Amino acid sequence: MTSHVDGNALAGSLSEIFRTDMTTAVCCCGGCGDTTTIATEMVYGTDALAHGSIVRCRSCDDVLITLVDTPERTVVRFPGITTLTVDRETPPA
Amino acid sequence: MTDWKVGTVTDTRTETPTGRSITISVDGWPGNLAGQHLDLRLTAPDGYQAVRSYSIASVGDGSTVELAVDRFPTGEVSPYLVDDVLPGDQLEVKGPLGRWFVWTPEDTRPIQLVAGGSGIVPLIAMARAHAMSGSTTAFRLLYSVRTPEDRFFADELASLESETFHVDYVYTRSTPADWPTPPRRVTRDVIEALTISAADAPGVFVCGPTGFVEAVARALVELGHDPQSVKTERFGG
Amino acid sequence: MAVFSRGFGGRARESAPDLPPGQFLTEDFPVLSAGPTPEIYTAEWSFSIRTETGAQHTWDWEQFRALPSELVSTDIHCVTRWSKLGTSWRGVSLDTLFEEVESSYDYVMAHSYGGYTTNLPLEDLLDGKAWIAYEFDGEDLDPEHGGPARLLVPHLYFWKSAKWVRGLVMMKDDEPGFWEQNGYHTYGDPWQEQRYW
Ligand SMILES: Cc1cc2nc3c(=O)[nH]c(=O)nc-3n(C[C@H](O)[C@H](O)[C@H](O)COP(=O)(O)OP(=O)(O)OC[C@H]3O[C@@H](n4cnc5c(N)ncnc54)[C@H](O)[C@@H]3O)c2cc1C
Ligand SMILES: [Zn+2]
């Protein structure tokens, strides 16, 4: 069984969608208000056998981001994030 | 947007009974910071693809990267990388990735590194960057392995020892002969005895299997480290 | 164009004649994790079915286990391409649970402890096609496989067989559940290879 890893591990997948390194972006959890970089949230389902990647709040487990790659599209949802702050200075990953 | 780049294996070296390091020359690799990782993609003849993340042991400019991989016996990708891949073989990589779990010489805090098993990979990149830059900040590494044979980069770590870099080993299954302590785990007491104290406000980087990282990070916070200054990289497992 | 990696075949993928298209056989029972495994004590467990009138039929663990159960032997097919043949389960048929339930709605949203949801047509749950399963291979269902009880709808891809199920809510229209909102097919028939939208 593969357990969770850090948000940092999603740098590659997120870089296919965003133009900048999203792991240093700061997100605020809609469930509990915890505010931290994506790199420090928890990621489930990065292994080969998962349905998709799920980023959960490090403090309340709420689902913040889901990311599924299908043969034809990538589907990203942000069910649990109220604010996402991306530093403009951050150079491309 | 980061694209897949073609890499050619140029060298492999056995590091441990279950692991080896692999050097890959990558077309268009822009260089990387210490602590970053890459995504590695393998494609089978029938088009089947597998993607995994690997930390980068090398640091700086240049178009080669060094990885070190531990074999996960039932795994899909790691046994291929540890047992099968040969110089000349091609694979694809995407990176360098992540700007969170990195150390740069501008960071002048004392630095404590804590590695479990192959978790040494991004941390040796930091130790190399520290040595290359001539940084005078104190670096200390606590490295947990099962047995003495399981140490990755053992000779290099020994050669890096200096006034500003020190390694402490913890053996969890068997120790070298005449080692002062029996095999033990990295508990809070061990961390307290062998790492830079919270009072010195070090930056801490912890990397390894998820269970190891969680236990160490929890102990560090209990010992008074500011959770903000403890950065983690979980490898899963 | 991807480059091929010499000597890389991927995990041995054993196909078999009777499998749905694109599926491979596995002997073990992989665990797909989407979050922490919820810790559910049977003393606190309940299962309910809620209809459009607000009527709620609820069973606690004791009441649930007092219902007649069935032994189910079936193949299961995961959308991540593994299939496992001849698995054996014990559970309560949804026909039994729906006996007293009155609803004119045709769709169901299954809800789980931990927040997971998945949508199904009601007719796929009835007529001996689905169960609330609480034993696997003669043992209590492991928490990592959905214990104490999970939905078992083996004729659809296995993500429809919600782990840690705690209730069903009748719906007028088909609305997507958790994975169905994220790119997975709303129905998920393995024989038609309905993996994604
Ligand atoms: C940011 C990051 C950096 C990393 N850096 C390194 C590094 O420097 N060095 C290193 O060695 N590792 C590193 N890892 C771990 C690495 O990414 C892989 O997870 C590891 O190499 C195992 O991959 P694998 O393909 O061999 O195993 P996998 O095939 O992914 O198997 C993992 C688990 O899933 C199970 N499983 C998968 N498929 C099936 C199936 N069909 N049937 C049954 N069970 C199945 C396996 O039994 C096993 O328990 C890193 C991870 C991350 C997130
Ligand atoms: Zn939260």
Domain parsing of chain A, residue ranges: 5-84
Residues C84-139 pLDDT 10s: 999 999 999 999 999 999 999 999 999 999 999 999 999 999 999 999 999 999 99
B52 Cβ below 6 A of ligand 1: yes
> Does the residue C5 lie in any domain?
no
Q: For the domain that residue B32 is a member of, what is the CATH number? A: 2.40.30.10
Say if residue B129 is in the same domain as residue B231.
Answer: yes
Give me the interface pTM, i.e. the ipTM.
0.90
> Does the residue B104 lie in any domain?
no
Residues ≥6 apart with Cβ < 8 Å to A20: A86, A90, A91, A92, A93
Residues A2-36 pLDDT 10s: 589 999 999 999 998 888 889 999 999 999 999 99
A3, A49, A68 member nearest C183 (Cβ): A68
Say if residue B136 is in the same domain as residue B227.
Answer: yes
Q: How many domains does chain B have?
A: 2
Domain assignment of residue C121, given as a range:
24-31+44-192
Question: Are A93 and B39 a contacting pair at CB < 8 A?
Answer: no
CA distance B63 to B44: 25
Q: How do strand B5-16 and strand A81-85 relate by DSSP bridges?
A: unpaired
> Does the residue C132 lie in any domain?
yes
pLDDT at residue number B157? 98
Would you give per-residue pLDDT tens digits along chain B (237 residues)? 568 999 999 999 999 999 999 999 999 999 999 999 999 999 999 888 999 999 999 999 999 999 999 999 989 999 999 999 999 999 999 999 999 999 999 999 999 999 999 999 999 999 999 999 999 999 999 999 999 999 999 999 999 999 999 999 999 999 999 999 999 999 999 999 999 999 999 999 999 999 999 999 999 999 999 999 999 999 998
Say if residue B93 is in the same domain as residue B121.
Answer: no
- As given in the structure block, the two tokens for residue C147 are 């214990």
Q: Does A88 touch chain C (CB under 8 A)?
A: no
Q: Please identify, among B64, B97, B130, the residue that sits at the C-terminal boundary of a domain.
A: B97
Domain assignment of residue B49, given as a range:
5-97
Give distance in angstroms: CA of B137 to centre of ligand 1: 34
B69 Cβ below 6 A of ligand 1: yes
Min Cα distance C90 → chain A (Å) is 24
- DSSP, residue by residue, chain B: ----EEEEEEEEEEEETTEEEEEEEETT---B-BT-EEEEEEE-TTS-EEEEEEE----BSSSEEEEEEE--TT-SSHHIIIII--TT-EEEEEEEE-SSS-B-TT--S-EEEEEEGGGHHHHHHHHHHHHHHT--S-EEEEEEESSGGG-TTHHHHHHH-BTTEEEEEEESS---TT-SS-S----HHHHHHHS--GGG--EEEEEESHHHHHHHHHHHHHTT--GGGEEEEE---
Q: Rounded to whole angstroms, what are the CA distances from C101 to B212, C50, C92, C113, C165?
A: 49, 9, 15, 22, 18
Say if residue B175 is in the same domain as residue B81.
Answer: no
Say if residue B82 is in the same domain as residue B121.
Answer: no
> Does the residue B106 lie in any domain?
no
Residue type, C75: D
Min Cα distance A39 → chain C (Å) is 17
Say if residue B166 is in the same domain as residue B228.
Answer: yes
Residues ≥6 apart with Cβ < 8 Å to C124: C130, C153, C155, C156
Buried b (16+ CB within 10 A) or exposed e, C31-43: ebbbbebbebebe
- As given in the structure block, the two tokens for residue B19 are 């692991």
Say if residue B118 is in the same domain as residue B92.
Answer: no
Say if residue B177 is in the same domain as residue B226.
Answer: yes
Question: Are B92 and C6 a contacting pair at CB < 8 A?
Answer: no
> Does the residue C148 lie in any domain?
yes
What's phi and psi for A75, nearest 5 deg? -115, 120
pLDDT at residue number C1? 59
Say if residue B122 is in the same domain as residue B66.
Answer: no
